[in-house]
Amino acid sequence: MRTLVLGGVRCGKSRYAESLAHAQSAAVIVLATATAGDAEMTRRIEAHRARRPAHWRVVEEPLALAAALTQAAAPDRFVLIECLTLWISNLLCQDDPARLESEVVRLVQAWPKLPGQVVAVSNEVGLGIMPVNDLARRFADIAGELHQALAAHSERVVSVVAGIPVTLKPAPQ
């Protein structure tokens, strides 16, 4: 089953996704996309690491997410992607603008075929004002389009608001 967990910054989406992983008996693999570009991001990464049980396997992959996901996903595994919007940011900062488009296409194509439990966490950035610069608008557009594509092929979509998960698309009964 594929689950997309969306929400704003510091809304509790990561803790919610981690609670889904804790509830599984399957082996957990975390695909971490963050890079520590400054002291504040380093602290955020450390906080996430401190919450994870030692037996969860962590694969740090800031760019080639579809390839890492395809390799990690299996019927007896729970894969947690943390997080899609950081991944988009990483790709936007690359010197090769075509890589972003190709990596997004690879992820969207792989998503419906993944075995096992897969949960992707991402920031919902399209609920605020229209960004004033081209890069910010491009980021929001890419994130919104990616969320729509993944949601269409997810069994469950959850929005987390103030720490409360709200199911937007329920899993089949």
Cis peptide before 93 (omega within 30 of 0): no
Report the pLDDT averaged over residues 96-101.
Answer: 92
Tell me the C-alpha distance between 27 and 93, whole Å: 33
Please state the domain count of the chain. 1
To 5 degrees, how large is the angle CA 89–CA 160–CA 16? 90
Q: What is the mean pLDDT of residues 102-130?
A: 95
Query: What is the C-alpha to C-alpha distance for residues 158 and 16, in angstroms, rounded to an integer?
Result: 10
Report yes or no: 107 and 149 within 8 Å, Cβ to Cβ: no
Averaged pLDDT, 22-33: 95
User: How does pLDDT run across 75-84, given as a tens digit for each residue?
Assistant: 999 999 999 9
pLDDT at 171: 60
User: Would you state the pLDDT for residue 76?
Assistant: 96
List the Cα angle 91/34/169 in 5-degree steps.
85
For 122-157, write each residue's pLDDT tens digit: 999 988 888 889 999 999 999 999 999 999 999 999
CATH classification of the domain holding 164: 3.40.50.300
User: pLDDT tier at 85 (50, 70, 90 boundaries)?
Assistant: very high
pTM of the complete model: 0.94
Higher pLDDT, 130 or 172: 130
pLDDT at 62 over 80: yes
| Catalytic (active-site) positions | 48
* Contact (CB, 8 A) for 160 and 166: yes
- Domain with 109, as residue range(s), is 2-169
What's the pLDDT tens digit per position in 33-46? 998 889 998 998 89
- pLDDT score at 127: 85
Give pLDDT, residue 99: 96
51-56: long-range contacts at Cβ-Cβ below 8 A with a sequence spacing of 24 or more? 51/15, 51/18, 52/18, 53/22, 53/28, 55/28, 56/21, 56/28, 56/29, 56/30
pLDDT of residue 111 exceeding 70: yes
pLDDT of the residue at 172: 57
| Residue 67 confidence (pLDDT) | 98
